[in-house]
Amino acid sequence: MLPSTEYVESVERTLDSKFTFKCHKDISCFNKCCHNTDMLLTPYDIIRMKKRLGLSSSEFLQKYTYTHIDEKSSHPFAVLTMNDDEDGRCCFLSSEGCSIYEDRPANCRYYPVGKGLMIRDTENGPAPVDFYFFIKQPSCRGYDEDRDWSIAEWRSAQGVDLYDEMNREWQEIQLRRDNPGKPKLDDKKQSLMYMASYDIDKFRKFVFESGFLNLFELDKDEVEKMQSDDIALMQFGFKYLKYILMLEETLKVKEEYKKEKTPVN
């Protein structure tokens, strides 16, 4: 979720930080947080939701998202589309609540907690470190309820642990690219980054129906798994992103192609 900064506290929290919160159908603000919000999606979000709805990733993205290009990093992001009406409701919101609740996005699961990632000095040198904060929208009455949590307990109860594990490498890629002096991505790399991040079914065709497999030295077991396993393909996509963004040499070009210019598409 990309909340208005006026609702985000400036204090950094940890997993041990305590708060009081409860959301339920009888609360006066029920579902209001699912209106007029910019819900940024992650690669694992797309896999969960497109499977839930029985759609290809391309179909899901076309029907339920729009693309946002970050001005600072020039990275493309998929954002969940709200209904084009006065209420601006989430397209998956029903009178009973979220219609895809078991497969809702990571940012929905975290609310009213927000999560960030930044490079910090640690004992082992600079490293990505998580931090947390609370989102306090004026209309939200959940903070008036009597259920106590730590952020660690909230993460576990909302099932966000798995989402964080699946998205961690992708988030670190965004962080490593989002530094002063990094060149803006051209349209071609933006398109490749978007495909490898979000359009998993199109990415599978790209890998298996082009000359891609002839160009790189890849593990046969990994390749076989990627043919049918979206998670394995998503994780390979992160390797590909590091390669095309020149963050790490995660892919090795076959000897016969080394003297030629290495294509990225």
- Altogether, the residues listed in the chain come to a count of 265
| Of 152, 175, 173, 144, the residue nearest 245 (C-alpha) | 173
Give the mean pLDDT of the chain.
Answer: 90
Q: What is the pLDDT of residues 169-227, one digit of tens each?
A: 999 999 887 666 678 899 999 999 999 999 999 999 999 999 999 999 999 999 999 99
pLDDT of residue 265: 53
pLDDT of residue 259: 61
Q: What is the pLDDT of residues 167-185, one digit of tens each?
A: 999 999 998 876 666 788 9
Phi, psi of 14 (to 5 degrees): -120, 175
Determine the Cα–Cα distance for residues 174 and 73; give it in Å rounded to an integer: 8
Q: What is the pLDDT of residues 64-105, one digit of tens each?
A: 999 999 988 899 999 999 998 878 899 999 878 899 999 999
Contact (Cβ atoms closer than 8 angstroms) between residue 46 and residue 198: yes
Mean per-residue pLDDT for 4-29? 85
Q: Where are the domains of the chain?
A: 5-159, 187-257
pLDDT of residue 180: 64
The pair of three-digit structure tokens given for residue 41, joined into one six-digit string: 């999606």
State pTM to two decimals. 0.90
pLDDT of residue 176: 84
Q: How far from the centroid of its chain's Cα atoms is residue 262's Cα?
A: 29
Q: What is the pLDDT of residues 18-77, one digit of tens each?
A: 999 999 888 988 888 898 888 999 999 999 999 999 999 999 999 999 999 998 889 999
The pair of three-digit structure tokens given for residue 241, joined into one six-digit string: 């992103």
CA atoms within 13 A on the CB side of 200: 26
Q: Is 181 left (phi over 0), alpha (psi -120 to 50) or beta?
A: left
The pLDDT of residue 2 is above 70: no
Please work out, in degrees rounded to the nearest 5, the angle formed at the alpha carbon of residue 163 by the alpha carbons of 158 and 167.
Answer: 155
The pLDDT of residue 4 is above 60: no
